[in-house]
């Protein structure tokens, strides 16, 4: 018993020391292997929106790494059809049948996922929803950025880049996703404060580069004078930029969200003004650790708010160092 208590105490010290570091910097949690002679204590599954986007792939990898810190197995799953709520619910049902100890899910649709969460509730399996909130069901906690505040901050950056005048189009993500709804509401409320800025339209591009390009091609044909793009993620913005280049247009300021090498290079090259960093590694970390702590009998905060970072030309080189070949 004493050895078990000491092992738990050591794990707690390690976890919360790491958490303190993670909240204040851009580094990913270090991967740590559980002792070889120690059986994995809990079995979790993380159900993502898809495994086609780098952001979601990284969240899955980070969840697995977080599980190793507390000696838990984490299986990564996602619907074969990206952002299919029906398939996400089926994966929840499969997890219940497998008698997992906890379910982590990033809902494709914050309302439509509720029946799946309620099935997990009925089975007595705790659920955490990092990144994207669910609008119902009994959820242990959510970890992520405050997306409305993010939209407001990105809207301010866009307005500033336009000298507070001009015509803007907004690109929203998957309809029904809390992340997209809140970010676009933040953009809209902020830009409406400036009388010389006009929001021409808001169009859905489903968080994909291909649809961002297609939507922007249509918008360029419809509007002769577009000065700025506010996008709910960087994929749609980079797709829109491809359409702008193909059409021979220039001078359109773009603000996006999320961090990968492609958008960092676009910032460095002057093709994108700025992007927001929501620290997906921290969201995955808290999704796993919250379930673990709950099962250990600890009180878990209902929300774990992670601060957003902003990447622009002033600090992009620092971010690009993550991708340097060693």
The DSSP call for residue 30 is P
Supply the pLDDT for residue 280.
87
Sign of CA pseudo-dihedral 114, 96, 59, 262: negative
Report domain extents, the chain: 2-145+280-295, 147-277
Residue 17 has pLDDT above 50, yes or no: no
In DSSP notation, 36-94 reads: TTS---EEEEEE-S-SSSHHHHHHHHHHHHHHHHTTEEEEEE--SSTT-HHHHHHHHHH
Q: How many CA atoms lie within 13 A of 161 on its CB side?
A: 26
Beta-bridge partners for 73: 43
Question: How is domain 2-145+280-295 classified at the architecture level of CATH?
Answer: 3-Layer(aba) Sandwich (3.40)
Give the global pTM.
0.74
Question: In the predicted model, what is the mean pLDDT of residues 252-281?
Answer: 95
Q: Measured in whole angstroms, how far is the alpha carbon of residue 47 from the centre of its chain?
A: 13
Could you tell me the two tokens for 106?
Answer: 């990033």
Residue 34 has pLDDT above 70, yes or no: no
pLDDT confidence bin for 325, thresholds 50/70/90:
low
Residue 30 has pLDDT above 50, yes or no: no
Supply the pLDDT for residue 38.
64
- SS3 for 2? helix
Residue 1 has pLDDT above 60, yes or no: no
Instruction: Return d(Cα 115, Cα 119) in angstroms, integer.
Output: 6
Cβ atoms of 250 and 134 closer than 8 Å: no
Residue 13 has pLDDT above 60, yes or no: no
Question: In the predicted model, what is the mean pLDDT of residues 158-164?
Answer: 98
Supply the pLDDT for residue 240.
98
The per-residue pLDDT for range 103-137, each reduced to its tens digit, is 999 999 999 999 999 999 999 999 999 999 999 99
User: Which among 230, 238, 256 is positioned nearest to 171, based on CA atoms?
Assistant: 230
> Above pLDDT 90, what percent of the chain?
80
Other C-beta atoms closer than 10 Å to the C-beta of 40 total: 14
Question: In the predicted model, what is the mean pLDDT of residues 161-181?
Answer: 94
Which residues touch 59 (CB under 8 Å, ≥6 apart)? 46, 48, 106, 130, 131, 280, 281, 283, 284
Beta-bridge partners for 172: 204
Topology of 147-277 in CATH? Rossmann fold (3.40.50)
**What is the radius of gyration, based on Cα positions, of the chain?**
21
Supply the pLDDT for residue 319.
93
Mean pLDDT over the full length of the chain: 89
Supply the pLDDT for residue 23.
37
Supply the pLDDT for residue 177.
85
The per-residue pLDDT for range 37-80, each reduced to its tens digit, is 567 799 999 999 999 888 899 899 999 999 999 999 999 999 99
What is the H or E stretch that residue 146 is in? none
Per CATH, 2-145+280-295 and 147-277 having the same topology is answered: yes
In DSSP notation, 177-224 reads: -HHHHHHHHHHHHHHTT-TTEEEEEEEE-TT-HHHHHHHHHHHHHH-S
């Amino acid at each position: 018993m004493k050895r078990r208590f000491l092992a738990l105490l050591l794990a707690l010290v390690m976890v919360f020391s790491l958490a303190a570091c993670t909240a204040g910097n851009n580094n990913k949690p270090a991967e740590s292997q559980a002792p070889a002679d120690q059986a994995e204590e809990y079995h979790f599954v993380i159900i993502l929106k898809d495994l086609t986007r780098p952001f979601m792939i990284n969240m899955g990898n980070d969840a697995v790494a977080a599980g190793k810190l507390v000696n838990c197995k984490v299986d990564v799953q996602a619907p074969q059809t990206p952002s299919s709520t029906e398939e996400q619910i089926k994966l929840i049902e499969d997890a219940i049948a497998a008698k997992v100890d906890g379910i982590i899910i990033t809902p494709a649709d914050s309302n439509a996922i509720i029946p799946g969460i309620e099935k997990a509730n009925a089975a007595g399996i705790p659920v955490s929803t990092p990144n994207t909130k669910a609008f119902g069901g009994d959820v242990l906690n959510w970890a992520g950025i405050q997306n409305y505040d993010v939209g407001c901050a990105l809207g301010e950056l866009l307005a500033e880049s336009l000298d507070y005048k001009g015509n803007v189009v907004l690109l929203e993500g998957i309809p029904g996703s809390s992340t997209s709804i809140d970010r676009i509401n933040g953009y809209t409320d902020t830009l409406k404060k400036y009388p010389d800025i006009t929001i021409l339209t808001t169009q859905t591009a489903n968080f994909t580069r291909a649809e961002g390009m297609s939507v922007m091609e249509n918008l360029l044909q419809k509007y002769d004078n577009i000065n700025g793009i506010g996008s709910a993620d960087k994929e749609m913005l980079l797709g829109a930029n491809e359409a702008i280049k193909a059409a021979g247009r220039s001078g359109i300021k773009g603000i996006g969200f999320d961090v990968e090498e492609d958008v960092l290079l676009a910032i460095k090259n002057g093709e994108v003004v700025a992007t927001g960093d929501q620290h997906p590694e921290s969201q995955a970390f808290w999704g796993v650790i919250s379930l673990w702590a709950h099962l250990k009998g600890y009180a878990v905060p209902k929300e774990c708010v992670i601060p957003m970072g902003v990447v622009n030309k002033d600090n992009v080189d620092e971010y690009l160092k993550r991708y340097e070949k060693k």
